[in-house]
């Protein structure tokens, strides 16, 4: 067994494990690089050590200083681990959509955590990156890690992850598959493997369908720590300089359901408890391997552990609530109830007069969404921010609290409760009664599938 002078010396050197069951009849071998066995639990440990080392060498981070970063959790954990070992204070800005486990993990390391709204544009002062930059500027002795634009991020993988894979496969690797978040992992690893192989290694990016990296429209998605989301009010879409697009030869785009269920398959068929972004990467790797033969060798990076997602990816109730698990057939489900179609919806900036015209004659509540009505794709659940009815708007106008030319957002009711199509009808009915709501939004794969009322659920329950 290896012995190290400090914990940070144990970062890297992660194992490569062949996938045997999820690959089925594929003839091309697929090996998973288990980055979650790093001391801090993810691939981000490599970049964390490299960024802090570089900051210390440059005199940007001095004894007693404070490490500040905007993170979805994994980079923060890596930085917090190194900071604890070297005596630095930590402050992290983290989006509210991050799992509770990640937030608890950062606090366990002694870090201060500032939870930021995820549904705001890049330029908003409460955005994760703006919040981190502001804290760093206002805190004496602070250093902003800025993983998205820090050259030490991809360099860490050029110097460690890439050489490890080349050595572990004895130079046989032909395809690298990895997700793209900050872009540091795929950039550094891919650059090294392309260089050492004389361009023989193909680099494939695994990306959520909606991510703009692979040409998506930037709408929300449910897999954490991967892809690139763009709020509809963002003025300028800035890509991280840690990501070098020419390194990626092509993308495989993976829908949320396939990502999440593949992550669960890894645990149940391979004994590999990994996160949702690992599910995205493995789903992409299986697609890549389907077109290859026994002389090829695919390496896929598994970024983090499923222990960070026990309340999400690996929780049946969470998956059913958001529409990613089908009914088990044991009890009547929401899908057995009469589900009403969703009619036109309104934007927060639409006027009360326009919203009233839209709501007039509608069979149920009209949803207020952050995106314009588009017939080519359903509305994602995070895009629904409220609901209005003709009765509510007329009452507001009659009382003088609203005028016809006001924006409708301040006069909307909170968003309706959500229930998954595969959820138990009895559980959904209980949730509506507990929240004193007459109707709920029905979700399928995280998108708005329709509306269901209490009476319809009671009928389904029998």
Query: Which residues belong to the active site?
Result: 44
Interacting residues of 330 by C-beta distance below 8 A, sequence separation 6+: none
**Reduced DSSP (H G I as helix, E B as strand, rest coil) percent helix, strand, coil of the chain, to 5:** 40, 20, 45
**What token pair was written down for 324?**
């990613």
Give strand pairing partners of 207: 253
Identify the CA nearest to 81 among candidates 153, 132, 9, 144. Answer: 9
Instruction: Evaluate the CA torsion angle 82, 83, 84, 86 in order and state its sign.
Output: positive
Longest CA–CA separation in the chain, Å:
77
Q: Are 225 and 304 a contacting pair, CB within 8 Å? A: yes
Beta 384-388 vs 366-369: how paired, if at all?
A: antiparallel
Q: Are 62 and 329 a contacting pair, CB within 8 Å? A: no
Using CB atoms within 10 Å of the CB of residue 371, give its burial: 0 to 12 exposed, 13 to 18 middle, 19+ buried: middle
How is 296-307 classified by DSSP, letter by letter?
--EEEEE-BBGG
Identify the CA nearest to 189 among candidates 172, 200, 201. Answer: 201
> Any idea how long the chain is?
462
Rounded CA gap, 76 and 44, in Å? Answer: 8
What single DSSP character describes residue 87? T
Rounded CA gap, 442 and 423, in Å? Answer: 10
Rounded CA gap, 157 and 203, in Å? Answer: 14
Instruction: Evaluate the CA torsion angle 312, 318, 322, 324 in order and state its sign.
Output: positive
The residue with tokens 């009452």 is: 395
Helical H segments across 291-389, by residue range: 316-321, 352-359
């Amino acid at each position: 067994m290896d012995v190290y002078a400090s914990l940070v010396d144990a970062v890297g050197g992660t194992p490569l494990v062949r996938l045997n069951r999820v690959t089925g009849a594929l003839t091309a071998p697929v090996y998973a690089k288990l980055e979650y066995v790093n001391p801090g639990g993810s691939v981000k440990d490599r970049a964390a050590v490299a960024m802090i080392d570089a900051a210390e060498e440059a005199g940007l981070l001095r004894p007693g200083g404070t490490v500040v970063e905007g993170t979805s959790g994994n980079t923060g954990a890596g930085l917090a681990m190194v900071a604890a070992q070297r005596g630095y204070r930590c402050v992290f800005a983290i989006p509210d959509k991050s799992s509770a486990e990640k937030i608890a993990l950062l606090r366990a390391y002694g870090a201060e955590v500032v939870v930021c709204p995820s549904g705001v544009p890049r330029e908003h002062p409460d955005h994760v990156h703006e919040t981190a930059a502001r804290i760093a500027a206002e805190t004496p002795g602070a250093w902003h890690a800025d993983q998205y634009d820090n050259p030490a991020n991809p360099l860490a993988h050029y110097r460690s992850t890439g050489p490890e894979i080349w050595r572990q496969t004895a130079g046989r690797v032909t395809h690298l598959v990895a997700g793209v978040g900050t872009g540091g992992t795929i950039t550094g690893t891919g650059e090294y493997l392309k260089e050492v192989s004389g361009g023989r290694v193909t680099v494939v990016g695994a990306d959520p369908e909606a991510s703009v990296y692979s040409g998506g429209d930037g709408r929300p998605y449910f897999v954490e720590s991967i892809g690139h989301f763009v709020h509809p009010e963002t003025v300028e879409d800035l890509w991280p300089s840690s990501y070098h697009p020419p390194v990626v030869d092509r993308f495989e785009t993976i829908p949320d359901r396939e990502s999440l269920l593949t992550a669960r398959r890894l645990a149940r068929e391979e004994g590999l408890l990994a996160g949702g972004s690992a599910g995205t990467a493995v789903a992409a790797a299986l697609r890549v391997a389907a077109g290859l033969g026994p002389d090829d060798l695919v390496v896929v990076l598994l970024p983090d552990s499923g222990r960070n997602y026990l309340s999400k990816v690996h929780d049946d109730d969470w998956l059913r609530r958001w529409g990613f698990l089908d009914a088990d057939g044991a009890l009547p489900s929401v899908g057995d109830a009469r589900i009403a179609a969703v009619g036109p919806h309104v934007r927060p900036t639409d006027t009360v007069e326009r919203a009233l015209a839209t709501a007039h004659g509608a069979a149920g509540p009209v949803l207020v969404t952050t995106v314009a009505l588009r017939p080519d794709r359903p509305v994602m659940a995070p895009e629904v921010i409220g609901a209005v009815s003709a009765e509510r708007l007329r009452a507001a106008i009659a009382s003088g609290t609203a005028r016809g030319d006001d924006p409708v957002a301040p006069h909307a009711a909170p968003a309706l409760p959500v229930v998954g199509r595969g959820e138990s009808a009895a559980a959904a009915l209980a949730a509506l009664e507990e929240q004193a709501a007459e109707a709920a939004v029905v979700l399928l794969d995280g998108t708005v599938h329709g509306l269901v009322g209490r009476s319809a659920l009671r009928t389904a329950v029998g």
